[in-house]
Structure 1
Amino acid sequence: MIRKIITILCISFLAFSHSVLNASAFETNPTRIYAKEELENGYYLETVITTNYTQARSSIRNGTKTATYRDINGKALWSITVNGKSATCTSSTYSKANYSTSWKLSNAKASKNGAAASASITAKQYHQNGSLQKTINKTVKLTCSPNGSLS
C-alpha cells in the first residue's frame, strides 16, 4: 500500500513539474517599442511596435506596428496598423481607425515582401466648408530580423 502511495506521489510530482516547465517556455507579456516623430504645427506621429512572443526560444513572432497621427493636445485623429507574423512574414493584414470627422481615410492596403509586412493609407483633412486642407500618405513597415526582433 505504501508503495502505491509513493508511486502516485512521484507520478504527480513529475506531471506537475513538467507542466510548470512547459508554461515557462511561453512568454505572456508583449514587448512595446515607442517612437514619436514631430510634424508641423505641433502635430506628431506616434509609432508603437508590439511584439507577441509565441515561444521563448523561437524566432517566430507575431507583432503589430501602429502609426497614430495626433494633434498638439495629443488627441488621436487617425491611425494605421500593420499586423505581421513570423520571421519570414507569413501574413500581413492592416486595420485603420478614424477618430475625427474632418479626416477621411482611403486607399488602405497591406502587403508582404520577404520578412517585412507593410500597410499604407491616404489620409485627407477637410475644412468645414468641404475643401481639401491637407493630404498625408503614410506607409507603416514591420520588419522581422532572423533572430525575431521586430522593427
Structure 2
Amino acid sequence: MYRLVFLIIMSLTTQFETQAQESSVLPTHYEIGMEKAFALWQENKISDAANVFERIASAETENWLPSYYAAQVLILDAFTKMKDVDALNAQLKRAQDFVNDATAISKQNPEILVMQALLHTVYVASDGAKYGMILASKVSQIYAEALKLAPR
C-alpha cells in the first residue's frame, strides 16, 4: 500500500514539474529586446535599432551579439552616408566602439573580424585616396585571419 501511494505521488509530482517547465518558456527580456531591435532595423529606423542593441549590450555584458548587431546596423547604414563626411565619421566611430566591445567579450571571433573588415571597407569606399593605401591591406589581413579561424 505504501509503495502504491508513493508511486502515485511521484507520478503526479513528475507531471506537475513537466507542466511547470513547459509553461516557463516565456521569452526573456533579452529575446524581447532583440526582436524589437530587429523590427526597428527592418523598419529602417537605424538609430533606434542601434540604441536598443546598445541597451541590451549594457545589460548583457557577457554576450557579444548585441554589440555585434549594433555595429552591423551602423556599418551597413554608413554605406548610404558617403556624402556627409562628418555624419559618416561619427557613425563609424560609434560602430568601432561596438566592435571593440564585442571583441572584448569574444576574442578571436571570425564574425567580429569580418565586421571590422567591413568597417574599414566603408572608410575605403568613402575616400579611397585617403584610406585606400592604409586600410586595403589591413582588410585583406583581417579576412585572412578570419578564414584561418573559421575555414570553409
TM-score bracket, shorter-length normalisation: 0.3 to 0.5
Structure with more of its chain in helix, by fraction: 2
Structure with more of its chain in strand, by fraction: 1
